[in-house]
Structure formats: structure tokens, C-alpha cells
Amino acid sequence: MKEKCPLCGAESELHCVPYEIPFFGEIMIFTAVCASCGYRSTDVMVLSAEEKRKRCEMVISSAEDVNAIVVRSSSGAIEIPELGVSVEPKRGEAFITTVEGVLKRVENVAKMLSKDGTSKKRADEVLKQIEEIKLGKASMTLIIDDPTGNSAIISDKQFFKKENVTEKTHS
């Protein structure tokens, strides 16, 4: 399929790929690539579930826990309170990775910030915490809040919390 590139306006190629994720269900992965400017966006949509706000939490407390699968749609916000990290959703920023992959993304940002004198101390602390978490010497809570219900944390771990959140209406 073709769609208009949001950056340069040229025609870009849109690819849709269905995929089955164990313990989660059928999803559709959308990828748009502009041949003209190189802009790329990805999104994930759950095909087998109702669209309800979903909040998933998992305590990461061992080296094995970093292997849990993380599915984040472009509307899912990620929070890691122990690291003081909050990642707000952006258009085209969907991904499927592991907890370690999420930590690697945070690590990359912290490494960039550690080059700045004002942020270096805090960035170095975060990098040290991430290393301890990956080794199983420290724990953290991974939270994904998604208004569309298209994000998830997939793990065999017993201490895992997933809830559908109902929107409160104000009268």
C-alpha cells in the first residue's frame, strides 16, 4: 500500500504484516518507509482483543526477567519509577523487544546525557542501576499504560499484573 510521508509529502510504502505472539494473540505490524527522505514509522495493533485501556506492571528482580517480551504500541507510555524514567508515546514509535531491549534504549539516552556536564552525574547513576538490574543485583518495576490496550508485557513470571482500566467519566 502507499501513503503520504508526514515529513516530505512524497509517496511512501506501507507494509502490514500479521504476526502471532504466544500468550498474547494475533497482532498486525505496520511499517511505513519513505524512499525519498528515509522517514520510517512502525506501529502495532492487537487484532484479537477489545480496545480497552490496559496497564501492565512487572517487577524485574532477576537476570532471567530481562528476557520477558515487551510489546509497545505507539500509544503506550512506559515508566520505570526506580530509574526515574518515563517514556511518553510518540507517533511511529511502536516496538516489540525484551525488557533488556527497553533498558538498552534507556541506556542509549543516558549515555548521550552523560556527555553533558549538568546531566553527567544523574546519567552515570542510571547507567550503574541498569547494569545491576541486568545482572539481577537490583530490581525495578516496568509499567506500560496504553489507552488502546495494544501494549503488553509477556512473561511466565508469577508476580505479574495486567489490568484493564476503565475510563472515569466526569458528570
CA distance linking residue 34 with residue 41, whole number of Å: 9
Let me know if residue 26 belongs to a domain. Answer: no
* pLDDT for 163: 62
Let me know if residue 102 belongs to a domain. Answer: yes
* pLDDT for 141: 96
Q: pLDDT tens for residues 90-114? A: 765 788 899 999 999 999 999 988 8
Which of the four pLDDT bands, split at 50, 70 and 90, describes residue 171?
Answer: very low
Containing domain of residue 144, as a range?
50-164
Q: CA–CA distance from 118 to each of 85, 86, 110, 123, 124 (Å)?
A: 17, 19, 12, 10, 11
* pLDDT for 49: 56
* pLDDT for 124: 92
Let me know if residue 169 belongs to a domain. Answer: no
Let me know if residue 125 belongs to a domain. Answer: yes
CA distance linking residue 70 with residue 125, whole number of Å: 24
Let me know if residue 143 belongs to a domain. Answer: yes
Question: Looking at residue 56, which CATH number applies to its domain?
Answer: 2.60.120.1040
The total domain count for the chain is 1
Tell me what percent of the residues of the chain surpass a pLDDT of 90.
40
Query: Residue 130 is inside which H or E element, if any?
Result: helix 120-134
pTM higher than 0.75:
no
In 10 A of CB 66, how many CB atoms? 20
| 46 has pLDDT over 90 | no
Let me know if residue 89 belongs to a domain. Answer: yes
Let me know if residue 142 belongs to a domain. Answer: yes
Let me know if residue 6 belongs to a domain. Answer: no
